[in-house]
Structure 1
Amino acid sequence: MDKFYLNIKNETSRLKAVVLGTAKSNGPTPKVEDCYDPKSREHVIAGTYPKEEDMILELDAFENVLKKYDVIVFRPEIMEDVNQIFARDIGFVIENRFIKSNILPDREEEFQSIEYIVNHLDPNDIIIPPEEVHVEGGDVMPWNEYIFVGTYTGEDYKQFITARTNKEAIEFLKNLFPDKKVVKFELRKSNINAKENALHLDCCFQPLGKGKAIIHKNGFLIEEEYQFLIDLFGKENVFEITKEEMYQMNSNVFSISEEVVVSEQNFTRLNTWLRSHGFVVEEIPFAEISKQEGLLRCSTLPLIRD
């Protein structure tokens, strides 16, 4: 593989290269006390935690759609008995910089599986945050002159395994990108109730092409921060999802371009709305992976968009 140069300015420009997670050798069903999020915990208790073979099929369907649009798709190197589905958690790209996430310590080895890609980047473009900065890619959205960041800054931050991006990350990103407007959003957190937990910003909000966006009001703790997004995009351009739709991960779709959105096949109301606004909707099965409180955006780490 030759050296290549990163370019990500927003969530919707034409995708050229991406890392897509893998479910191969995903490991056994976790114990309840080892779950990182309330939805996985719920399915472990119910005996409905997803099977590896089903998740492999779902990710293969996603890869097929990406390749249909001539996207270069990288996959993580397989690590035995490690959950490597959510590539967005381990790193993210803004402009020409790859920022390594500071993720839960138990998940550090996931990064090793994409080092073969990172090693082909310009070393000056690889940013490793200091230890006190907690940040995951699901909370960080480059949006042209903005960087939207989901966070939780309550005094009880350490009590929430679902609080993944801290206030130190906000300052870190402001210093790293002084020409950008870094806008923070306080997210609702719960360790045990998936319907009251916005694990990442992309679990309750996502910008789309054509000036549109998806949002769930209850995912935001501060109404003024939610209102900022409504005012920025315009109420008529925003698809508001219900608590149940947020739980099913309706905001966690993925844009291949301004016009093309990959979505879960069961998101009937959303997919109808998207098509009514001129989007091409590529529907795939992803309901099993969603049982781990992550969906299409979570499974990707975009490297290059036009």
Structure 2
Amino acid sequence: MLKLNIKNETAKLKAVVLGIANSVGPTPKVEDCYDPKSKQHVLAGTYPKEADMVAEIDAVATVLEKYNVEVFRPKVIEDYNQIFSRDIAFVIEDKLVKANILPDRDQEIDAINHVLSQIDAKNIIKLPEECHVEGGDVMPWNDYIFVGTYSGEDYPEFITARTNTDAVIALQELFPEKTVKSFELRKDNVNPKENALHLDCCFQPIGKNKAILHKNGFLVEKEYQWLVDFFGKENIFEIDKEEMYNMNSNIFSISEDVIISEKNFTRLNTWLRSKGFIVEEVAYSEIAKQEGLLRCSTMPLIRE
């Protein structure tokens, strides 16, 4: 049996589900894209090729194995995108919460049944239908659970709005001993540089007390300021619009000292090393074209 344990984003990783890029299917039609960045690349003829994405994600598997992490992979579903395993479920403490994601993506959870079957059934939670939530919006951080949301009345009009207020309330009820802190995110169906698809597109805690942050991803300045005060200005790496677009906040922590990052994130990687982190660089720029990066492709199950 797998004994789930996730208290935060950075404790030493023991077991993880890593997405898979085999048989992702043909390039989607523009009208079938879930996010503005994919749409942009479909229109430009630069949508990523399967072989490139398989190579990128396998390089991540190699890094994880180097650090003795047990890596689970989804079973391959023909012609189906299964790269972003973070979206389908997330673990907090010893509970795995199944996400209510876009209906077109339902099969993705079935592809990890071989993992779910190793988890005590009473620790697998399915939220009520009205709770929309995806793992990219949910970040356990010790006594807190940080959640990205969008509560505008025009929520249904945004395919980029993935987590609603009902889900925030449900998480508070599930984990009454934690403080669930929600953040309103900026949504844009058209312009990827104005769209924070998930909380991890504009924020991520790293190490023991540091964070990567992008101010414009937050709709409410006071909420952004809360994070600045919480981590302390000197501990924050603020990314600009271009870096947000390239997913600089979507790196992945193997431990408090070791981070997997994209090799083109020169400014960020230099800063991380200056703060004492070991940075494992991988090429991930093809997968990034679908508005997801390293955190999106990983679903941690056990950290120390």
Residue number among 236, 256, 259 corresponding to 1:258 in the alignment: 256
Paired position in structure 2 for 1:146: 144
Deviates more, 1:116-125 or 1:242-251: 116-125
Q: Spell out the pairing of 1:209-288 with structure 2 (5 A cutoff).
A: 209-288=207-286
What TM-score do the two structures reach when normalised by structure 1? 0.99
What is the Cα deviation at residue 210 of structure 1? 3.3
- 2:82 match: secondary structure: coil
Paired position in structure 2 for 1:296: 294
What is the Cα deviation at residue 11 of structure 1? 0.1
- 1:131 match: secondary structure: coil
- 1:138 match: secondary structure: helix
The 4+ residue runs of structure 1 with deviation greater than 4 A are none
- 2:55 match: secondary structure: helix
Aligned AA for 1:108?
D
Looking at structure 2, the residues matched to 18 and 28 of structure 1 have their Cα atoms a distance apart, in angstroms, of: 27
Paired position in structure 2 for 1:197: 195
- The gaps in structure 2 that reach 5 residues or longer are none
Looking at structure 1, the residues matched to 108 and 39 of structure 2 have their Cα atoms a distance apart, in angstroms, of: 21
What is the Cα deviation at residue 211 of structure 1? 1.1
Looking at structure 2, the residues matched to 228 and 127 of structure 1 have their Cα atoms a distance apart, in angstroms, of: 30
What is the Cα deviation at residue 120 of structure 1? 1.2
Looking at structure 2, the residues matched to 113 and 56 of structure 1 have their Cα atoms a distance apart, in angstroms, of: 17
Looking at structure 2, the residues matched to 191 and 289 of structure 1 have their Cα atoms a distance apart, in angstroms, of: 19
Supply the RMSD in Å over aligned alpha carbons.
Answer: 0.4
- 1:27 match: secondary structure: coil
Looking at structure 1, the residues matched to 192 and 105 of structure 2 have their Cα atoms a distance apart, in angstroms, of: 21
Looking at structure 1, the residues matched to 3 and 109 of structure 2 have their Cα atoms a distance apart, in angstroms, of: 19
Looking at structure 2, the residues matched to 84 and 30 of structure 1 have their Cα atoms a distance apart, in angstroms, of: 14
Aligned length: 304
Looking at structure 2, the residues matched to 85 and 92 of structure 1 have their Cα atoms a distance apart, in angstroms, of: 15
Looking at structure 1, the residues matched to 2 and 148 of structure 2 have their Cα atoms a distance apart, in angstroms, of: 29
Q: Percent identity?
A: 69
Looking at structure 2, the residues matched to 4 and 89 of structure 1 have their Cα atoms a distance apart, in angstroms, of: 20
Deviations 1:66-108 (A, max 9, x none): 0000000000000000000000000000000000000000000
Aligned AA for 1:187?
L
What is the Cα deviation at residue 197 of structure 1? 0.3
Aligned AA for 2:133?
V
- 2:115 match: secondary structure: helix
Is residue 120 of structure 1 aligned with residue 118 of structure 2? yes
